[in-house]
Amino acid sequence: MGNRKKKVIEREHAHYLDEARSLHTIYILLPYCYGVGCEDSPDSGAPGFHMLGELNPLDLGRLTVLEKGQKWCGVVLETSFGKDVVRRMGEIAENLGIVIRFIQVSMVRAQEPSARAVAFLDFSNAIVTPEEALELVSKQEFVKKARIIYPSETGVLSDDYFFPLVLDKERIVVFRRRTYESLFKGIRERFGTAGEVMLYYVGFNIGYQTYSDYASIVGSEKPEAIVELAKTFLRTMGWGIVDVVEMDLERGIAQVRVYESFECEIGRGGEAAYGHFSRGLVAGFFTRLFDREVKVVETMCVAKGDPFCEFTIRA
Ligand SMILES: [Zn+2]
């Protein structure tokens, strides 16, 4: 291999390692405690208002960079679906001195006969090798398929089994902060206020369409049910924690708070509200909900130092 080619590979490799490391640590960098002065808020008695305590970051796992000497490896399993499978697998691991550091089971839907899982196992104090453990596991009558995932030479251990990611049968992708930050900031930096307008309209279309999607998921046109589902989705997908402080369908007004907005967080240190995409989302969603045009203003924003983002909606 030529020197030049080798250097390119090394550089790409270093980049990959760097990516993997930051993926591993990004959750640690998240603020664990949210210092909102909710108790003093005049709206704290409003329906639906909640106080945020400590956040509980979820490390999605599936990829880790091992430290030197860490004896981890992964395993992919396909098992029949039974009520004591998890317990029996846990027992086997415990008896062999294996510590399960991570396990993810793809959601098993009704009528599905088998479950698929990936796990990262710590063999530091194990009394068997990974190969011996695999042999033992494969002999269990509930195990249909079992395979070991070895870390790469550079210590990257990753789930090379599950692909693509799906939620409710629809494909999803995960962006790390540095990716979506580049995307959102890049549009602003390159196109200025025109970029902000663009983000607003993109958000608007998504919000508008999403309302219909959620209505079909809950099987109802009842606004309260659709709003609840929207809040659930936004939180579960990591976009932010939404609190509807006020919603009056007849008068066509609403007030929505967003804590930990993924969009506005990247604009911290600024002087103006930053959530143009979010404002569009809210506008599109409430245009459908109120069934008339709305005007949305982001009155408070974490980007300019407020404890949360707040949107006022008026038809
Ligand atoms: Zn904001």
Q: Of 274, 276, 278, nearest to 265 (Cα)?
A: 274
Q: Domain of 78?
A: 63-169
In this structure, what are the phi and psi dihedrals at residue 41, rounded to the nearest 5 degrees?
A: -65, 135
Pair (183, 280) in one structural domain: yes
Scored b (16 or more CB within 10 A) or e, 244-260 reads bbbbeeeebbbbbbbbb
Pair (95, 192) in one structural domain: no
* Residue 296 binned pLDDT confidence (cut-offs 50, 70, 90): very high
Distance 114 CA to ligand 1 centre (A): 44
Distance 275 CA to ligand 1 centre (A): 4
Pair (161, 270) in one structural domain: no
Residue 103 has pLDDT above 60, yes or no: yes
Distance 279 CA to ligand 1 centre (A): 8
Residue 131, CA distances (Å) to 77, 122, 156, 174 in order: 14, 13, 19, 32
Residue 50 belongs to some domain of the structure: no
CATH of residue 105's domain is: 3.30.70.260
Distance 72 CA to ligand 1 centre (A): 41
Give the residue from 115, 142, 169 where a domain finishes.
Answer: 169
Pair (182, 257) in one structural domain: yes
* Residue 81 binned pLDDT confidence (cut-offs 50, 70, 90): confident
Residue 129 has pLDDT above 70, yes or no: yes
Q: pLDDT > 90: what percent of the chain?
A: 73
Pair (121, 220) in one structural domain: no
Distance 297 CA to ligand 1 centre (A): 10
- Cβ atoms of 303 and 270 within 8 Å: the answer is yes
Average pLDDT over residues 151-162: 95
Distance 282 CA to ligand 1 centre (A): 12
Distance 88 CA to ligand 1 centre (A): 48
Distance 278 CA to ligand 1 centre (A): 8
Residue 236 belongs to some domain of the structure: yes
Question: Comparing 50 with 103, which gets the higher pLDDT?
Answer: 103
Distance 274 CA to ligand 1 centre (A): 5
* Residue 83 binned pLDDT confidence (cut-offs 50, 70, 90): confident
Q: What is the pLDDT of residues 3-32, one digit of tens each?
A: 554 454 444 444 443 443 344 333 333 333
Distance 185 CA to ligand 1 centre (A): 14
Residue 130 belongs to some domain of the structure: yes
Residue 37 belongs to some domain of the structure: no
Residue 305 belongs to some domain of the structure: yes
Distance 218 CA to ligand 1 centre (A): 28
What's the confidence (pLDDT) of residue 4? 52
Average pLDDT over residues 124-132: 95
Residue 52 has pLDDT above 90, yes or no: no
Q: What is the pLDDT of residues 251-266, one digit of tens each?
A: 999 999 999 999 999 9
Residue 298 has pLDDT above 50, yes or no: yes
What's the confidence (pLDDT) of residue 53? 62
Pair (164, 217) in one structural domain: no
Average pLDDT over residues 71-98: 91
- Computed from CA positions of residues 19, 20, 23, 26, in that sequence, does the dihedral angle turn out positive or negative? negative
Lowest mean pLDDT among 6-15, 177-186, 211-220: 6-15
Distance 172 CA to ligand 1 centre (A): 24
Distance 239 CA to ligand 1 centre (A): 12
Distance 242 CA to ligand 1 centre (A): 12
User: Which neighbouring-strand residues pair with 149?
Assistant: 74
What's the confidence (pLDDT) of residue 203? 98
Q: pLDDT > 70: what percent of the chain?
A: 83
What's the confidence (pLDDT) of residue 153? 93
Residue 111, SS3 per DSSP? coil
- Cβ atoms of 282 and 205 within 8 Å: the answer is no
Pair (221, 307) in one structural domain: yes
What's the confidence (pLDDT) of residue 47? 35
Pair (83, 158) in one structural domain: yes
Domains contained in the chain, number:
3
CATH of residue 270's domain is: 3.30.1380.20
Q: What is the mean pLDDT of the chain?
A: 85
Distance 310 CA to ligand 1 centre (A): 7
* Residue 109 binned pLDDT confidence (cut-offs 50, 70, 90): confident
Distance 285 CA to ligand 1 centre (A): 17
Q: What is the pLDDT of residues 240-251, one digit of tens each?
A: 999 999 999 999
Average pLDDT over residues 287-296: 97
Residue 217 has pLDDT above 90, yes or no: yes
